[in-house]
A and B are shown apart, each in its own frame.
Chain A
Amino acid sequence: MNCKFPALLFFCLFLVAKGFAAYPDKPIKIIVPTNAGGEIDAMARIFQRAFQEKDLIPVKTVVVNLPGAGGTVGTRRLKEAKPDGYTIGLWAPGIVTSKAMGIVNYDHKDFEVLGTTGYSEIGFGVKDDSSYQTIDEFIGAAKAAPNSIKVATNIGLPVHFFPFLFAEEAGIELKFVQSGGGSIRLASILGNHNDMAMFSLLAFKQFKKSGLRPLVILSGERHDLFPDIPTAKEIGVDLEITDTRIWLAPKGTPSDRLELISNAIKTTLESDDVKEEFISLGLTPEFGTPEELEVFLDDVTQRITPLVSKMRKNR
């Protein structure tokens, strides 16, 4: 009896130690809701490599690609994962558009947000030889002939919502045509099948030679790459949106574990080689806090949710 008690005590201590102090003691999964090869996947792998090389997380991290259904296959799996800090995920503003479209019944509020790493600035553009030389001409033409200018889009995703928001704010009516992913949208613009589409500023830079030209950008101020292109605000359209990359964890993940990962993410983002890689992907290497993201996503949600019924009718 006497000797059993200390043994039990030690056993309990061991359990406690294992339960609290030893995190992490097995590989951490990073869920990426797209195919291998995309920009978000590339970003996850940059972090994966940096975590290991710079020894920021003492265990291995594994990138798990879970593509499908506009990213909801992956986000759903993340949401339902055990909140033990061994599963985290990387995603985009699609987290709120999928709920607005009624595909899923959860959004960022049903996750723990670790923060955002980088955003890409976006704009709307046309083919080089398009008759719309400026955004004012574009809006003028749209007002003269409502519902005639064709926008290449991917229905229900940010590339659909953001131009739609723009049209609402500018008081014009555009025609939205389902095209698909970025490269297919680009091909449909270059082939004159559609008139306008949303792209990242990096895409505008890369495909300038192919014949893509921005009309307006959605950033706060003009960009060095395109000093002549106005922002939406300048032309009186209240729309300032960036395409952010959001780190999520299942709701209820212990805060000390979240902190460990979020510190690792922040440190990674401070190193020069990672910054350089971010810039080559067209992303601004800045860390955003969960609070900042909350404000942004709440604003987006508030603005797009009332549009959904109108979007459906317009099709």
Chain B
Amino acid sequence: MELLNAFQYIFTPGPFLWLLLGVASGIFVGAIPGLGGGMLMALTVPLTFSMDSTHAVLLLMGMHVGSVSGGLISAMLLKMPGTPSSMMSTFDGYPMAAKGKPGLALSLGIGASLLGGVVAGIFLILLAPPLSIWALKFGPWEYFTMVLMALVLIASISQGSMLKGLTSCILGVVAALPGLNDSDGNLRLTFGFEELDDGFNLLPVLLGIFVMSQLIKDALNINKKGTAIQIAKESVFPRFREWKRHIVNILRSSCIGTWVGILPGVGANISSMVSYGTAKTFSKTPEKFGTGHDEGIVSAEAANNANAGGALIPLITMGIPGAPVDAILLGAMIMHRIQPGPLLFTTNGDLVWALMGGYVIANILMFGIMVASAKHLARIVKINRAYLIPIIFIFCVIGAYALSNRIFDVWVVIAFGVVGFFLDRAKYPLGPFVIGYVLAGIMEAELRSGLQSSDGSFMPILTRPISLTFTIIAVIFLAYSIVNEWRMRKASTQSVDTTD
């Protein structure tokens, strides 16, 4: 009943227009590499002081949902993720677009985003309190084993040489090492270089590895006749027939996305990594992942949108932001004298329902806007890169600078761009680099917290039921893939024997 009232409220002109404005500006900003939803929201918060508090919250949430989705456009069409959360979409979205199906890639991404958002919305509305309590069971060991499992599941994400993939991954881990180490409060590998005290931040590293390296590559190839992608005639509106095949994948990925979203301190990029890895494991054709496979697109995009909804669950029920972006939403609510937490339902019940209803509607608005514009967006691939490169370069620089208002981050983007360019040129895959970089930080922190609390014993991995489950899955999959590899090799040598 309250929910119906909330929907009714959202469809009155004032709230609806704010939500629409939020979603549209979010998509726009999300699609531009370098700029993201967090930045947009932080800039908007001071402007909302004089607004009605519910309008302000709807505006900010629209921006969040829009930006998470908008990132897929540039990830798929330019191989440059618009936001960190759309990073996994470069792995399959871009190859599919490059094969002449940019429309299909977009429609899969957009549709999966909508469904991911709706599934998370259902969890948010029906199961927020029990889920947030269950999420508290996750301590350092559970985080550690979950990420370990994800790492094993996506281990073979790269095509080609295993050794090169591993090297790339280790380089990513190395990039995550310098800076102030939270686990012991010491500076590590900064060589007295003060700018390095905070290490290499996520956004500049991602912009460098994915965007700047691609810009360099494109710039060097500028005189070659553009990558003439033939756009096949196809409808951008997702077809029902297509979706029946993906329904299990979408549900699974949305649940993973929602769950990772609920866990505080873990971002949307981790949720799409975990769900991508899981989708690959359950797939009948895991070898196609990374080559433009529809299941890869669907799993990554369903998960990152579901993440946004999942992250609202602890925010509403406990006042704990589920993701860094939600801290901005929390800050805005506090500025409007609304304190999220268990009392929110009694003190600001209308606002909570409007927030939950607004999240679902924001996803639907996002779908409408993106589907309507996808056909035109798909043409981006045909635009001469000479026009795009300077524009994207400028946004990358602005985005990296604005993160902490320092020029050092701009140098980080450029340096990692050069590193990424040469790695790519030497056929070292970039995916494992970023996975190593992102997961090494969180694994180290959680493992060390766990060891601090267990006095250095690794036993909790086996004695805590949730950790044990994750560990078993990781071990089984590892064994399975090794055996599989061995069999395939044996089979191939046998077939060679018989031909002899």
Q: Which residues of A contact B (CB under 8 A)?
A: 35-38, 41-42, 45, 49, 64-70, 72-73, 76-77, 101-103, 150, 154-157, 160, 175-181, 183-184, 186-188, 190-194, 206-207, 209-210, 280-281, 312, 315
Contacts and interface: CB of A to CB of B under 8 A. Distances in A.
Nearest to A209: B342
Given A37-B330, A178-B448, A209-B341, A183 B321 contact: yes
Given A66-B404, A180-B182, A280-B337, A209 B343 contact: yes
Interface in B132-161: 135-140
Contact of A207 (B185, B186, B319): B319
Nearest to A189: B136
A271 B179 CA distance: 42
Contacts of B404: 65-68, 73
B406 interface: yes
Given A65-B405, A70-B180, A36 B197 contact: no
Given A64-B405, A183-B321, A207-B319, A188 B139 contact: yes
Interface of B: 42, 45-46, 49, 135-140, 179-180, 182-187, 194, 197-198, 201, 264-265, 314, 318-321, 324, 327-332, 334-335, 337, 339, 341-343, 404-406, 445, 448-449, 452-453, 455
A190 B126 CA distance: 22
Contacts of A280: 334, 337
Contact of A66 (B179, B343, B406): B406
Contacts of A181: 265
A254 to B, nearest CB: 25
27 contacts: A35-B42, A37-B329, A41-B331, A42-B334, A49-B46, A68-B180, A69-B187, A102-B186, A102-B187, A150-B453, A155-B183, A155-B184, A175-B455, A177-B140, A177-B449, A177-B452, A183-B265, A187-B135, A191-B135, A191-B136, A191-B137, A191-B138, A193-B139, A206-B341, A206-B343, A207-B318, A280-B337
For B179, B328, B452, B455, the residue with the greatest tally of chain A CB atoms inside 10 Å of its CB is B452
B449 A207 contact: no
Contact of B185 (A49, A77, A160, A191): A160
B197 A72 contact: yes
B342 to A, nearest CB: 4
Contacts of B406: 66, 73, 77
Contact of A49 (B49, B183, B201): B49
A37 B331 contact: yes
A280 B333 CA distance: 12
B443 to A, nearest CB: 14
B320 A206 contact: no
A306 B448 CA distance: 25
Contact of B265 (A37, A102, A180, A190): A180
